[in-house]
Structure 1
């Protein structure tokens, strides 16, 4: 169940660390969009691992905030300055103010389960039941249900795991350190500060 979208003109603050070349693109085009080559540069040999995740994420997120024509991948942001990625070589930090209707908020901890191709439990009891089910079937590596042919032998279990990933969109406190955000693009006018340049 996806219920993340708030059609509101209310603005929220977000922070993102990006390569410094983003400023050139923003100056030239007035808008920045993530592209496959940027993800390849950033993630190198593990890029395909992330592309699979992003393909799933894009299908879900565009049901919450429609994806503009020509956009392929999301841009990741922090919802709290305390949780933002710190500056690194050749990067900048952008502080943005964006209308809430453009933002998809997710649970940071639950996203960690998705990144590992694990089941996102409802609670500790649900997690315990799920782990018992894995043991019953002799499955030691839960991610193999998605990443390998093993999922063909346990399609119901594989589908249960994938369906559970939608829980990342269930957020009670959007400004919490336990949340993160995505945008489909960054517009020049949304930038209110560049604290680290």
Structure 2
């Protein structure tokens, strides 16, 4: 499967030196937030069940893009989604075996990140959405957590999501999987985490 991952200079240099790239949890800013860590831990559990156990010492996956605007194409760095990069970065195009990748809808991933229930109600049906939310709110807290976590699995289902922006997660990127590399300099102001 053709994917594009965006990595900073340190990660790219590490990949070139070691021949493999893993997520360094100590450097992953989003993992410092307890709510986001809960979401990423849930994803790790799903990956273990769907693509297998990670290599020894690996806790979290590497992220990449599979579809942008519904097409399997390299990222257009002029788009708003890519304007938050600061400093030297690399767009790495890679070919990774399908069975080693978990795809998810990027838009609906935000429901997981925000610890929200992913209702079955159609987005354009306010009444159905209100009924679903009312039903969910009426559940006991422990059951809400179970139902919510089960609802998150829809982010992997093409039938439930628009699949316009599709992200890919995988345990490692190997140097021999690289097809091409583009260097760019992000000019956004640093975000404090």
TM-score (norm 2): 0.75
User: 1:23 corresponds to which residue?
Assistant: 12
User: 1:168 corresponds to which residue?
Assistant: 155
User: 2:41 corresponds to which residue?
Assistant: 55
Deviations 1:99-127 (A, max 9, x none): 11111111222211111111112232663
User: Once superposed, what is the RMSD of the aligned Cα atoms?
Assistant: 2.7
Total equivalences in the alignment: 167
Change (3 A) 1:190 1:111: same
1:122 corresponds to 2:120: yes
Deviations 1:25-79 (A, max 9, x none): 122211011022111xx348x5333222111110111111112222100111111
How far is 1:172 from its partner? 5.2
TM-score (norm 1): 0.73
The 5-angstrom pairing of residues 29-68 of structure 1 reads 29-39=18-28, 42-43=29-30, 46-66=32-52, 67-68=54-55
Counterpart CA distance in 2 for 1:92 and 1:75 is 14
User: 1:105 corresponds to which residue?
Assistant: 103
Return the match for 1:154 from 125, 141, 149: 141
User: 1:177 corresponds to which residue?
Assistant: 164
Which ranges in structure 2 are unaligned for 5 or more consecutive residues?
Answer: 68-73, 185-193
Change (3 A) 1:64 1:112: same
Change (3 A) 1:43 1:165: closer
